[in-house]
Amino acid sequence: MEDRVILIDKPAGISSFGVVAKVRGYLRNECGHKVKVGHTGTLDPFATGLLILLSGKMTKKSNEFLKFDKEYVAELKLGFKSSTGDPEGEIEIVDNRVPDIKEIESVLRLFIGDIEQIPPKYSAIKINGQRAYKLARKGVDFEMPVRIVKIYNIDVLEYEYPRLAIRCRVSSGTYIRTLAEDIGEKLGTGAYLTALRRTKIGEYSVEKARILDVYLI
């Protein structure tokens, strides 16, 4: 019972580490002793959706899960940009031009395949042993390393300016915040994420996940 793959549908407003702590506490009470619990890839606090946790001996397989492709549903707000790429940053107006759906679909196609991506400075990537977001909050000037990621598909789910909803399947290591910003740059309007939901990790689906309330008893 201690060695599990635990699928959680993370709500907004809690960090991935917060979810780990709550599940760890639940398993400790259930098993009567401390149980090792770890995540296989974080979600930002404002994001929701599938979070895979591993417990007990299964934690040794975390690297396998980290390599899985992922699927997201994201909402972008065009015409603006955010200092963090999401709703938690400082918002600025960029351009109020309204692109039509054909232009948007044409731009989205530019991102299909292997692309270069610069991860956001407000991320958990380590720079010289320190988390990038901690350096950014301190105002430290630093460069983020370029990485190659793969975008398998991007589908428009809904578009009513300035809101653009998309579904995308991407390789491990892809930052959807950065993808949103890059889409906005190509459109010339700017863009940032207003909502993000992870729906799949590999073959695991959020439809099979348990809500976090189960672990708050």
Residues with a known catalytic role: 44
Residue type, 95: D
The angle, 0 to 180 degrees and rounded to 10, between the axes of the packed helices 176-187 and 101-109 is 120
CB 8, CB 40: distance < 8 Å:
no
Residue 3 burial (10 A CB sphere; 0-12, 13-18, 19+): middle
For residue 191, the tally of other CB atoms under 10 A from its CB is: 25
Q: Give the torsion sign (CA, 91, 94, 97, 101).
A: negative
Closest CA to 48 of 174, 151, 193: 193
- In Å, how far are 46, 66, 143, 194 from 121, measured between CA atoms? 17, 21, 8, 18
